[in-house]
Structure formats: structure tokens, C-alpha cells
Amino acid sequence: MSDPFKKLVSTLEGRFSGIASQAVSGLPAELGTITEAGLKLDSFKYEIPDYGLAEWLVKLHLPAFSLAGTLTVSGSSAQEARFDLPETEIDEVKVDWQAGVRPGDRVLAIPVNDGNHAVVVCKVVGADG
């Protein structure tokens, strides 16, 4: 007579192995195109009209730099001026890349809710920008 616990252990090991490999492999990101009506994933024949856009908050690192220009003070004439700014870091800068996404743009998206919805994580451009 076979041991029912061996079969149970074997089944659980198989399922945990599948779950672990899926977690290690990451999310199934896909390429797609922004359209007038929504998002068209390369692997899905229908457009997704209601898709999400990732929001990125970053820490901005600025090197020391100088700005030169004209300084105009109320009631006086314009003067040449130079401002020397030190290296600085700015926390929680919102990157509004969404404002630049237009129909025809290629994007990287992650399908969610069994493919019924998708979240666009970034715009994809060629090496020359």
C-alpha cells in the first residue's frame, strides 16, 4: 500500500517549487503601445482602455554647477550675473514622465488582474533616445 503522506509531500513540493520559481523570475512584463483609446499590449489583441501608470518618487542628485544670465531687480537695469550652486540632494522628487507619454509611444507594462488591467511602468525608447 502506498504512503498517502509521500504523495501529499510530493504535491506540496511541486506547488511550492512553482511558486518559488515564479517569484524568482519576477513579473511578466510586456511591451505595448499607447493608442488613442488606451494601451495595446503586443501579446493581447484588444486595447486596454483603463490602464494604470506607475508614479515614481526619486532622490535627485545635482552636482555643483553655475548658471549665468541677466539679473533684473525691480526699479533697476539688467545686469550680468552668475550663480554658483553647490552639490545637493533633493528628496521625493516626482518624475512626471506620464505627461510625455503619447499615442504611438512604446511602453513596458505589467498585466494584472488576469490580464484585464495593466500598469505601465516606463516608456521604452531606442538607444538614440
Residue 85 lies in a domain: yes
Q: According to the model, what pLDDT value does residue 88 have?
A: 92
Low-confidence ranges of the chain (pLDDT < 50): 1, 5, 20-21, 23-24
- Whether 31 is covered by a domain: the verdict is yes
Give the pLDDT confidence score for residue 87 in this predicted structure. 94
pLDDT the model gives residue 20: 47
**Count of domains in the chain?**
1
The predicted pLDDT at position 24 comes to: 38
pLDDT at 13: 56
Domain that holds residue 105: 4-123
Count Cβ neighbours within 10 Å for each residue of 89-122 and write b for 16 or more, e otherwise: eeeeeeeeeeeeeeeeeebebbbeeeeeebbbbe
**CA dist., res. 128 & res. 71, Å (int):** 36
> Does a structural domain hold residue 129?
no
**Is 20 a domain residue?**
yes
Whether residue 128 lies inside any domain: the answer is no
DSSP, collapsed to helix, strand or coil, labels residue 84 as strand
